[in-house]
Amino acid sequence: MKVKYSYLKRQFSDAEDLWIKLKKFVETGDFTLGKPLVEFENKFSKLMSVKHTIGVNSGTDAIKLSLKAVGIKSGDEVITAANTFVATVGAIAEIGAIPVFVDCDDTFCIDPNKIEKAITSKTKAIVPVHFTGYMANMNKIMPIAKKYKLKIIEDACQSILGSIDNKLAGTWGNTGAFSLHPLKNLNVWSDGGLIITNNDLLAKKLRLLRNHGLKDRDTVSLLGYNSRLDTLQAVVGNWLIPQTKKIAETRIKNAKYYDNEFKKIKYITIPHRPKNYKIVYHLYIVFAEKRDALLKYCIEKGIEAKVHYPIPIYRQAALKYLGYKKGDFPVSDIHTKKIITFPCDQHMKKIELDYIITTVRNFYRLKNE
Ligand SMILES: *Cc1c(COP(=O)(O)O)cnc(C)c1O
């Protein structure tokens, strides 16, 4: 059996009604900042129970424009996690700010107990990454931000509808950034991103920033970017957004199924699942003994298992200029050797989940009942 990592071929195989909507939209020619975009932004605000959603052209830009909007400048230090997707760090660096790393804990997110040590007089913001579908511990991070007067831009690109104490990812900080990349939990057919905020002034500034700073056709009130979310993609977004909760619930169900089986295998350790967290499993990750051999075995058996990531961002060649070296963030380093990611998406079939579980059991030479 082959179990693919990408579900995109399945996801849009039955979308006749969407094609009809797209055809109708194309006939309107309303391509830039059009009506379906406004509709999509409003629907997302409702889903997240926030006042404002601003569509932008990627999750990376959602972070970048947010940092810009809260006043982060060249030379400011911005704290983030030592293991994240490169985009978090790219967004910080792009505006000339200096990424400052803090180690992760076993929820794969920034360890809140190590943040204060990284704060200097230059620190202006924290970008907690709600990595893999977990959330960074916002109950501990918010008081630190308050104490040191730091802005919080949440990188919620992997955790749409994740929450702690029923408070959603992206709604704790000054803004929350989301990605609509084809492989994110809520996706479109191209790049896209969303920023949410309850702050009217920030929302206004973000709307300017995404559209060249144009207040109207002839007035440039600040220097911005060309970073609009394509209205065509908003049509796709409008089609998919009613499924967002179901997508999260299905991933959670799949993860529970895995957890229940994997916990019977002594060579696998399931990460802590705090009761007050809703984890939405953008990535389903466990710790495995003999990880490299297991990964190889799974791939040989047709399962597209992965590692997120074999080299943590802080050790990437592009970030050498920051002066970090191997061993600076030991928890992230251990993760690179022990973690394995299995497909967990909403389109997985039970026989596929079972095949993965059986394959892992076979690898460890355990009897399958
Ligand atoms: C996907 C992702 C981003 C960036 O999103 P793009 O839409 O690809 O630009 C940022 N941070 C994290 C953690 C992500 O997974």
Same domain, 106 and 123: yes
Same domain, 237 and 261: no
Q: For position 367, what pLDDT does the model report? A: 78
Q: How far apart are the first and last CA of the chain?
A: 19
Same domain, 168 and 250: no
Same domain, 234 and 278: no
Q: Order of strands across the sheet with 163-164?
A: 167-168, 163-164, 277-278
Q: 255 Cβ partners below 8 Å, 6+ apart?
A: 279, 281, 284, 344
**Residue 236 belongs to some domain of the structure:** yes
**Using CA atoms, how far apart are residues 137 and 50, in angstroms rounded to an integer?**
20
Residue owning the nearest CA to atom 13 of ligand 1:
85
Over residues 120-141, the pLDDT tens digits come to: 999 999 999 999 999 999 999 9
* Mutation test residue for ligand 1: of 88, 194, 210, the one with most atoms within 8 Å of CB: 88
Same domain, 69 and 110: yes
What residues are paired with 163 via a beta bridge? 168, 278
Same domain, 102 and 213: yes
* Mutation test residue for ligand 1: of 60, 109, 309, the one with most atoms within 8 Å of CB: 60
Question: Residue 157 C-alpha to ligand 1 middle, in angstroms?
Answer: 5
CATH number of the CATH domain containing 98: 3.40.640.10
Question: Residue 88 C-alpha to ligand 1 middle, in angstroms?
Answer: 7
Please identify which residue in the block is written with the tokens 């957004």. 241
Mean pLDDT of the residues in the chain: 97
- Domains of the chain: total: 2
How much of the chain is helix, strand and coil, in % rounded to 5? 40, 20, 40
Same domain, 42 and 145: yes
**Residue 2 belongs to some domain of the structure:** no
> How many helices (H) does the chain have, and how many strands (E)?
12, 15
Confidence at 369, pLDDT banded by 50, 70, 90: low
**Residue 15 belongs to some domain of the structure:** yes
**Using CA atoms, how far apart are residues 283 and 185, in angstroms rounded to an integer?**
10
Same domain, 126 and 227: yes
Pocket of ligand 1 (CB under 6 A): 58-60, 84-85, 87-88, 129, 131, 155, 157-158, 179, 181, 191, 193
**Residue 286 belongs to some domain of the structure:** yes
Question: Residue 219 C-alpha to ligand 1 middle, in angstroms?
Answer: 32
- Across the range 70-82, mean pLDDT stands at 98
Bond from prior residue into 297 cis (ω within 30 degrees of 0): no
Question: Residue 86 C-alpha to ligand 1 middle, in angstroms?
Answer: 8
Name the 3-class secondary structure at 220. Answer: strand
Same domain, 211 and 300: no
**Using CA atoms, how far apart are residues 102 and 100, in angstroms rounded to an integer?**
7
- Name the nearest CA neighbour of 356 among 308, 284, 292, 307: 284
> Is the dihedral angle over the CA atoms 177, 182, 187, 192 positive or is it negative?
positive
Residue 267 has pLDDT above 70, yes or no: yes
- Across the range 108-119, mean pLDDT stands at 98
Same domain, 212 and 288: no
Over residues 185-242, the pLDDT tens digits come to: 999 999 999 999 999 999 999 999 999 999 999 999 999 999 999 999 999 999 999 9
Same domain, 101 and 151: yes
**Residue 82 belongs to some domain of the structure:** yes
Confidence at 368, pLDDT banded by 50, 70, 90: confident
Q: For position 326, what pLDDT does the model report? A: 93
Q: Side chain identity at 297, as an amino acid letter? A: Y
Over residues 136-188, the pLDDT tens digits come to: 999 999 999 999 999 999 999 999 999 999 999 999 999 999 999 999 999 99
Residue owning the nearest CA to atom 2 of ligand 1:
157
Residue 75 gets which letter from DSSP?
T
- Across the range 343-355, mean pLDDT stands at 97
Atom of ligand 1 nearest to the CA of 180: 7
**Residue 20 belongs to some domain of the structure:** yes
* Its pTM surpasses 0.85: yes
Residue range(s) defining the domain that contains residue 292: 244-367
Beta-carbon-side half-sphere exposure of residue 322 (alpha carbons within 13 Å): 26
Which of 243, 268, 286 is the endpoint of a domain?
A: 243
Which of 243, 278, 307 is the endpoint of a domain?
A: 243
Which of 179, 210, 243 is the endpoint of a domain?
A: 243
Atom of ligand 1 nearest to the CA of 155: 11
- Across the range 317-331, mean pLDDT stands at 96
- Percentage above 90 pLDDT, the chain: 98
Atom of ligand 1 nearest to the CA of 131: 13
Q: 332 Cβ partners below 8 Å, 6+ apart?
A: 81, 82, 83, 103, 104, 312, 314
CA max distance for the chain: 72
Residue 5 has pLDDT above 80, yes or no: yes
Q: For position 132, what pLDDT does the model report? A: 97
**Residue 187 belongs to some domain of the structure:** yes
Same domain, 200 and 306: no
Tokens at 190, concatenated: 């191209």
Please identify which residue in the block is written with the tokens 């202006």. 124
**Residue 3 belongs to some domain of the structure:** no
Name the 3-class secondary structure at 147. Answer: helix
CATH number of the CATH domain containing 341: 3.90.1150.10
> Is the dihedral angle over the CA atoms 75, 77, 82, 86 positive or is it negative?
negative
- Across the range 241-257, mean pLDDT stands at 98
